Amino acid sequence: MADKKYESLKIENIVASGVIAESIDLVMLSEKVKNCELNKKRFPGAVYRIENPKIASLIFSSGKIVLTGIRNNKALTDGLAIIIKSLKKAGVDTLKEPKVAITNMVCSYDLGKYINLNKVVITLNVENIEYEPEQFPGLVYRIKDPKIVVLIFSSGKIILTGGKNLEDVKKGLDVLEQKLESIL
């Protein structure tokens, strides 16, 4: 991120999901693939972890997959390729073109200054803000466009979630900073 404004913006986690096969025999998969666990009493899918890139995937008998722990697009592409290769090697008939896309990005950002959350609540007086310090130390601000949920902490640290790409996250950050401009 060459833009100085977004210098402290960091991707913490990316979640992607989609379809990689028409159906998968999870028992067979968990027996043939190392680091693939199946415990149907606890969870209906298989949990398959890979180390490089470090990704946890949930694989379901329907052929659907959820990937988490991803840090960037290259890790998603590389990790998915490793997972597909392992499944094929185990005898799973995967789709020629798996349909997997990012469904959520979690990013952190540091405003670099203290935020008086009570003042933010009073000044903004918006219905898409939740702040109950007895329950949770952060203020929850829901931005409608782009659809981003922001957790704001008095330390100036911010968590942004709900974006499907970095552009959405940056737009959400811009909206937030615009709202906070008059307060800080």
Tens digits of per-residue pLDDT, 41-86? 999 999 999 999 999 999 999 999 999 999 999 999 999 999 999 9
Torsion on CA atoms 157, 158, 159, 164, rounded to nearest 10 = -140
* pLDDT at site 6: 86
In angstroms, how far is the first alpha carbon of the chain from the final one? Answer: 25
**Residue 20's Cα: distance from chain center in Å?**
19
The helix (H) or strand (E) run that includes residue 130 is strand 129-130
Contacts of 32 (CB under 8 A, 6+ apart): 89, 90, 91
* Closest C-alpha to 90, from 31, 149, 146, 137: 31
Structure-model confidence comparison of residues 46 and 5, the more confident one: 46
DSSP state letter for 86: H
Tens digits of per-residue pLDDT, 117-128? 999 988 877 778
* Closest C-alpha to 184, from 132, 111, 103: 111
Tens digits of per-residue pLDDT, 96-120? 999 999 999 999 999 999 999 999 9
Structure-model confidence comparison of residues 3 and 26, the more confident one: 26
The answer to whether residue 40 scores a pLDDT higher than 50 is yes
**Residue 42's Cα: distance from chain center in Å?**
23
Contact 33, 41 (CB under 8 A): no
Considering the chain, what is the average pLDDT of its residues?
A: 93
Distance CA 46, CA 35 (A): 10
Which pLDDT band, with edges at 50, 70 and 90, does 3 fall under?
low
Tens digits of per-residue pLDDT, 158-175? 999 999 999 999 999 999
Which pLDDT band, with edges at 50, 70 and 90, does 1 fall under?
very low
3-state secondary structure of 140: strand
Distance CA 150, CA 141 (A): 5
* pLDDT at site 2: 47
Give the domains, in start order, of the chain with CATH numbers. 14-103 (3.30.310.10), 111-180 (3.30.310.10)
Place of tokens 């918006």: 126
